[in-house]
Structure 1
Amino acid sequence: MRRRILQISAALLVLLAAGIALLTFGHDTVMNTAYPRKYEEYVVYYADKYSLDPLLLYSFIRTESNFDPNAESNVGARGLMQITEQTFDWIKGKIAPEEPLTFDDLYDPETNIRFGSYFVSCCLLRYQDDLSTAAAAYHSGWGTVDALLANPDYSPDGKILTGFPYPQMRRYVQKITDAYTQYCEIYGPAS
């Protein structure tokens, strides 16, 4: 009887160890699938070029298009980082004025990540590296954010938003910050 109890105990320990391993591996697989790092060559290159954390760019891409290079919004924003034609024209004038790029080129992952990375870096630079304020600007535009910064109800210091009065903006900022937190937890801090 004692031998049988030891065999059952040993079998239970093996099953428990296998279950823990499966849960750990399964959790990692699920999280890596939910928070992928697609287009890594372009993301890492342009993150380095514009002094960004690649995990931050993944957060924007995941939030904007869920990694669909052919995504198009109801306002006509295109590609992985959902860039509008007006923003495309502005960025093109800054980083590619002589290149024969058109708005349709935003369906190309490298072009989209290049332009989107530049714009994220501009938003962060303009808003003192505050991710929430920069994300609000990426989503709603600098004019909207600048107007909110002038209102002490949303920005006591006139530099950083502490409140987001528009539900869509608030949800977007929350999605970006949550995605970035998850990416950092899964993949660790930028090296």
Structure 2
Amino acid sequence: MIGLLLVALIGLGTYALANGFGPVDDAVRGIVLPLDHQTIIRKQARAKNLDPELIAAVIYEESRFRDQTSAAGAKGLMQITPQTARFIAQKSGGSAFVLRDLATPEVNIAYGAWYLRYLRGLYDGDEILAVAAYNAGEQNVDGWVAAAGGIDSFDHTADIRFKETRDYVAGVIEHRRLYRQHYRRELGIGRD
């Protein structure tokens, strides 16, 4: 019975957040739309010229703000694979890559933000393609873009071939909106 009540409360909180039913209690907001490591997210957003709510939304889609390791070996809040981390370390000119560092929020978010910025640049500033590549890989997105006849012809809904990636992109878009709406102060949105 308690489990059913909790599911109902979370569902109601999600509905309230998504539909803008005024202020939602911080405890409910934190369960339905968690946000941790705001200082790191703000710092990396400034350093990488990204919106903090984009970073938060990717973290939400990747890990729900839980430090974990996936079956594929992706690690941390932003689910960085060791192979991608080595690529980032090499390209970013940072310090030598140490696998265990991916477990620290500071390194994991810095790497994830660097990779999002890199992908955005790769796709001429198109953040939807960058998010799709973050999920499906550059090679897949390159193939989809080529099949569509280029970035300008790419349909962000129809041309993403993997349902998982379409759902991932839609989730990032929706959660980005929710983080912007409900965590403006915590993410420093509208400052500077």
Deviation of residue 158 (structure 1)?
4.9
Query: Does residue 1:95 correspond to 2:73, yes or no?
Result: no
One-letter amino acid of the structure 2 residue matched with residue 140 of structure 1 = A
Name the counterpart of 2:83. 86
**Any unmatched runs of 5+ in structure 1?**
1-22
What is aligned with 1:157?
152
Across the aligned residues of Structure 1 and Structure 2, the Cα RMSD in angstroms comes to 2.3
CA 1:185–1:88: 2 relative to 1, 3 Å = same
In structure 1, which of residues 122, 139, 143 is the aligned counterpart of residue 135 of structure 2?
139
Q: Which runs of 4+ in 1 moved over 2 A?
A: 23-37, 128-131, 155-163, 187-191
Q: Normalising by the residue count of structure 1, what TM-score does the alignment of the two structures yield?
A: 0.77
> How many correspondences in the alignment?
166
C-alpha distance in structure 1 between counterparts of 2:120 and 2:126, whole Å:
6
Deviations along 1:91-149, whole A, 9 cap, x unmatched? 0102245x243122101110101100100111112223322211101011111101100
Aligned equivalent of 2:120 = 124
Counterpart Cα distance in 2 of 1:51 and 1:160 = 25
What SS is found at the alignment partner of 1:182? helix
Matched residue SS, 1:157: helix
* Mapping of residues 150-189 of structure 1, within 5 Å: 150-152=146-148, 157-158=152-153, 161-163=156-158, 164-188=160-184, 189=189
- Which residue in 2 is equivalent to 1:68? 66
Q: Could you tell me how far apart the structure 2 residues matched to 1:190 and 1:167 are?
A: 34
